[in-house]
Amino acid sequence: MPKEKTPRQEMPRQAPEVRRHNFDEVALGYTLDMALAEAGRCLQCKKPGCVPGCPVQVRIPEFIGALRNQDFRTAAAFLKDKNNLPAICGRVCPQESQCEAVCVVGRKDKPVAIGRLERFVADWERQAGVQVPANAPATGKRVAVIGAGPAGLTCAADLARAGYQVTLFEALHAPGGVLMYGIPEFRLPKDIVQAEVDYVLKLGVELRLNSVIGKLGSVNELLGEGYEAIFLGTGAGLPMFMDIPGENLIGVLSANEFLTRNNLMRAYRFPEFDTPIKIGRRVAVVGAGNVAMDASRTALRLGAEEVHIVYRRSREEVPARAEEFENAEEEGVIFDFLTNPVEVLGDEHGGVRGLRVQRQQLGEPDASGRRRPVPIPGSEFEMPVDMVIMALGTRPNPMVFSHGAGLERNRHGTVVAIEETGRTRLERVWAGGDIVTGAATVISAMGAGKRAAADIDAYLRDGATGPWWVE
Ligand code: FAD
Ligand code: SF4
Ligand code: SF4
């Protein structure tokens, strides 16, 4: 009889009725047996399809091979060779559209669960004690990295390892960017983010918190202060609104503010932490991306009785990851498809008493390739809600551009930079992550940070060769 194939190992998770009442991590991680079974599914390809699918080119067959041998220390070293934040990536990477999408096993079966194995190895290392590699000899050159999100942390770590003296400027009182203030605890515990930030600092990166570049000093001033290169990784944290009547009422807030209060300032642990958050009984979250899923699931956990996701397109067009959409549905979030808000309705105290919405139908595809929602005349109705959270997307915060003449931006406010290197129009200034692409992913931001670090190193080490910018 032919040997039966080992199925892809499912991730154990908290049950929906339990997890909707707590902020503990939903996905519980593989046991050793599960990790070994899953690692055994990898074919150890000589030409691995999976590696080019990863924006930081993790040495996937090598780390999985070491894991199979139960040599966890070596597995961790292979991971860290390319990825400074593996416990984070193992949890939040959209693996289904990255490394796992091009795993050869996936052609006939479910792909190897690369992200889950990455998480297993990174968690093992954190518990066993993280080893910090020796940096290359000091170059004596200083680089400023602005923004301590995944792009900035990756760029800073790679430059420190290459021997540069790196100062990391962060506007907030904590590093991590969206990893810390946006993604909820139940998907990405903050002690794990902190542990991976600590690793970057142990490489010798100097972190300056509460330092808003553009306010304290400008990009140009930093160049005059002895920094020989600047990397801008300030993300896209400026929320967008609908521009409908009633959006200024108390009880309407952006998903960014709602999640920041909860994640970074730990509002869910009030009064232990002193940031209270007033949660509505009936909450509407507008939008259906990953941020909307996070906001709606957070509202449930804070005690809202009913949470609705109001989305103008249909179930088929939901832009969130399938896994997060499923998690939200399982936990009891109610989805109102083909529904678009036209007005937030106020009560006598300036608060919210409802949302006037209009039914939609799908028309021809728009520029995004998705079918355009078209309002149905006479279909308006009121939804009784007392809190509205707007999760409609974000743009780069323009603060960092103050006095930064020469930084070309496109009409969405993102910085124009060369994809392969991160070079901007301003000589000796590089940029990467959401500030260039608009809201994207952790791993794409990390990939941009990595490519920029390599180009900064080549530029500073060998001197400028060729023109700064080639059309
Ligand atoms: P950010 O993470 O935004 O970091 C930028 C940093 O720069 C911040 O710390 C900010 O405070 C700082 N900064 C800004 N301006 C200044 C200034 N003037 N001076 C100094 N510092 C400044 N992606 C995934 O891959 N998987 C997910 O599951 C996922 N979930 C998400 C959930 C939410 C709620 C959100 C909002 C995003 C999510 N994303 C997810 C997207 C992902 O987090 C971002 O694409 C990624 O964090 C971008 O990284 P970045 O380094 O470019 O920017
Ligand atoms: Fe293993 Fe899949 Fe990568 Fe091949 S493509 S090395 S099977 S993870
Ligand atoms: Fe896959 Fe993300 Fe790990 Fe790269 S970092 S191998 S994309 S899970």
pLDDT digit string (tens) for 71-90?
A: 999 999 999 999 999 999 99
Q: Which ligand is nearest to the CA of 94?
A: 1
Ligand 1 pocket list (CB less than 6 A): 92-94, 146-152, 169-172, 177-178, 182-183, 211-214, 233-235, 237, 259, 290-291, 294, 397, 399-400, 433-435, 439-443, 445
CA of 440 to the centre of ligand 2 (A): 25
CA dist., res. 469 & res. 80, Å (int): 32
Pocket test for ligand 1, best of 88, 178, 262, 450 (most atoms within 8 A of CB): 178
Q: Is the pLDDT of residue 45 over 80?
A: yes
Could you give the CA distance from residue 315 to residue 248 in angstroms, rounded to a whole number?
Answer: 29
Q: Show the ligand 3 pocket: residues with CB < 6 angstroms.
A: 54, 56, 58, 60, 83, 89, 93, 95, 98-99, 114-115, 118, 443
Q: How far is CA 8 from CA 30, 55, 58, 101, 390, in A?
A: 12, 24, 21, 14, 37
User: Ligand 1: which residue has its CA nearest to atom 53?
Assistant: 235
- What's 445's DSSP letter? H
Residue holding tokens 């001197």? 463
* Beta-bridge mates of residue 374: 361
Q: Which stretches within 319-419 are classed as H helix? A: 322-331
Cβ of 101 below 6 Å from ligand 2: no
Residues 66 and 44: beta-carbon distance below 8 Å: no
* Mean of all residue pLDDT scores within the chain: 93
Which of the two residues, 58 and 371, has the higher pLDDT score?
A: 58
Position 276 pLDDT exceeds 90: no
CA angle in degrees (0–180, nearest 5) for 87-101-12: 50
Ligand nearest to the CA of 42: 2
Model confidence over 380-420: pLDDT tens digits? 999 999 999 999 999 988 888 876 667 889 888 899 999 99
Q: Is-contact 261 188, C-beta < 8 A? A: no
- Reported as a pLDDT band with limits 50, 70 and 90, residue 1 is low
Which of 44, 93, 107 for mutating ligand 2's site (highest number of atoms within 8 Å of CB)? Answer: 44
CA gap 225, 167 in Å, rounded: 12
How many alpha carbons lie under 13 Å from residue 64 in its C-beta half-sphere? 24
Distance CA 390, CA 262 (A): 16
- What amino acid is encoded at 387 in this protein? M
**CA separation for the pair 199, 204 (Å, rounded):** 9
Q: Quick check: helix, strand or coil at residue 161?
A: helix
Ligand 1, atom 39, lies closest to the CA of 441
Model pLDDT for residues 90-147, shown as the tens digit of each residue: 999 999 999 999 999 999 999 999 999 999 999 999 999 998 999 999 999 999 999 9
Strand partners, 165: 142
CA–CA separation, 403 vs 401, rounded Å?
6
* pLDDT confidence of residue 338: 97
Ligand closest in space to the Cα of 118: 3
In the chain, the amino acid numbered 235 is G
- In the 3-class helix/strand/coil scheme, how is 241-287 assigned residue by residue? CCCCCCCCCCCEEEHHHHHHHHHCCCHHHCCCCCCCCCCCCEEEEEC
Q: Which atom of ligand 3 is nearest to the CA of 93?
A: 2
Ligand nearest to the CA of 65: 2
pLDDT of residue 279: 84
